[in-house]
Structure formats: C-alpha cells, structure tokens
Amino acid sequence: MTGALASLASAALWAFASTRYALASRTLGSARTNLARATTVMPLFAVATLVTTGGHPLHDITSTRAAWLFMSVVCAYAFADNVFFAAARRVGITTALAIASSYPLWSAVAGALWRGERFGLARAGGTVLCVGGVIALIVLAPQAAGEHAHAGSNRREAREGIALALLTSILWAGNTVAVKMGGTGLDPWHANLIRFCFAWPILAATSLATRRPTADDGEARATYKALIPVSLAEACVGSSLFVYGLAHTDLAVGATLSSLAPLMSVPFALFYREERWSLPRFMAVFATVAGIVVLVTGA
C-alpha cells in the first residue's frame, strides 16, 4: 500500500510542477530547464546518500543496477523528449500525449511476461480504466479544442506522428521498468543520485547544443530562481517517491498510478477556473478513479 501511495503522490507533485516547468522552458528551453532541475537536487541526493551509506556512495551499486539506472536515463532524457516533441510537431501535443500515455500498458505487460507479476482480470481492468481515463482527460482538455484542426495536416505526417508517439510510450515504459530493476533494494535518493549523475552530462551537452539567446538575462535569472522550490518539491521529493513507488509495487500498479498527473491536475484547473466542469470530463475522472480503486484493492 505504501508503494501505491508513493506513486500517486509522485503523480500529484508532477501535476503541480509540470506547468511551471513548461513556463520556464519558454524562457530557458526544455534542456536548460531539465539541467537546472537536476543541478538543484543533485547535492541533496549526494548528502543523503553519503549519510545513509556511511560515506560510501558506491555501496550496493552493482554493474547490473548501474546499467539499469543508465538505461532509465537513456529512455527518459536522451531519447523520449526528442521523440515526443517530434511526434507533437506532426500530430499536435494533445494527440501525441494521449498516445504516449498508454505506456503503463506496456509496463504492465513487461512485468507480467518478464518478471512473472500478477496481471489478472482485476489488474488488467484497473490498468485499462486508468489509462483510458487519462487519455480521455487529455483529449477533452480545453487547450485540445483548437489543436486538432492544425495537427496532422497530411496523412504521411499523421502516420509518422502516431508512430513516434507510440515509440515515446515504449521509451517511457522502458524508463519505469529500468527504474524498478535498478532502484529496487536501494534508497530512493541513492538511486536518483546515480540516475542524475548519468543524466547531468547528457542534459549539459543537449543544453549547449540547443542553446538559444534569451531576450533578457534578468528574466533568465528570475526563471532559474523560480525553479528552485519547484525542483525541490518535484525533482527531489517527487522523484524519490517515484522510485520508491516502483520499487515497492508491481509494474502494473506503480507505473499506472505514477502516470495520473492529468487526473491530479483537474482540481487545480477547476480551482483556478482554467476550465469548466463537463459531463465527459466527469466520466473520465470517474473511470480513472474507479481504475485506481480496482488496482489498489485488487493488488
């Protein structure tokens, strides 16, 4: 149960932080935003790891665990972002995100076929309800309304975009599987320290390669400053909860529950009056919540 709660909490923190990362990326670019995020939390992970390992940060880091954690970084940072944005350019962000959000299905199948995890009718039903509800929430979001007319202007682009979005879902599933394989048996901050040590040079190189001048250096400094508390909440606490949740649940449960940021964002959007309540979105929320109940009680 603690693993499931941790996965849900990581989704809630991502729902809180993702909009702020998106705003920051308009000024800094996505690579520099991710680099700032990693740079902010790495010292905290390092201190926590040194304290809990008695000054031996490589303790319990076998070559197999390191390889899995490196694989998670390759899936999440090296390829997935670029593939996703390539898909979004062809079919629009809403369609690309809706397709890519199917990744918990691949994670659950990998857990069942490869690790022998239980994936009976209840778990299958709960996973499908959650994934279907999340996809519906994405498609029914207000910002999606004006997007469909401009996306996928020709069939070839549409086919390419769908294929790239499916590849993104596979990469995101690969990230969850790799985090579970590499992070099980480690403290979450220890696993994340290794992950961010692998990710930092990749993000730094990408940031240099895609560097763009900002209109105002003062604006950039203010953006970096605003990212600090967000990164502490999401990249430090949220990432630790993400690793803990995957390490302490089966993939069908952990991957699905940690993917529910679109559900968690609904109360914020209603509170700030960014969208209105509607019956279709209510049904999508109901389906997602029902899926959560089935997943947790059927685990």
pLDDT at position 92? 77
Dihedral over alpha carbons 261, 266, 268, 270 (to 10 degrees): 170
pLDDT at position 180? 93
Task: Name which residue leads in pLDDT, 158 or 154.
Answer: 158
pLDDT tens by residue, 63-80:
899 999 999 999 988 788
How confident is the prediction for the chain on average, in pLDDT? 84
Over 80: is that where the pLDDT of 143 sits? Answer: no
Q: What is the mean pLDDT of residues 102-123?
A: 86
Q: How many CB atoms lie within 10 A of CB 175?
A: 25
Dihedral over alpha carbons 240, 15, 135, 28 (to 10 degrees): -100
Q: What is the mean pLDDT of residues 271-287?
A: 75
Over 90: is that where the pLDDT of 246 sits? Answer: yes
- The answer to whether residues 210 and 31 touch, using CB atoms and an 8 Å cutoff, is yes
Q: What 8-state DSSP symbol labels residue 249?
A: S
270 — pLDDT class (breaks 50, 70, 90): low
Over 90: is that where the pLDDT of 296 sits? Answer: no
pTM: predicted TM-score of the whole model, two decimal places: 0.86
Over 60: is that where the pLDDT of 148 sits? Answer: no
Burial class (CB in 10 A: 0-12, 13-18, 19+), 191: buried
Tokens of 13: 């923190």
pLDDT tens by residue, 186-202:
899 999 999 999 999 98
pLDDT at position 214? 54
Over 80: is that where the pLDDT of 269 sits? Answer: no
pLDDT tens by residue, 3-46:
889 998 999 898 888 888 888 888 888 888 889 999 999 999 99
48 — pLDDT class (breaks 50, 70, 90): very high
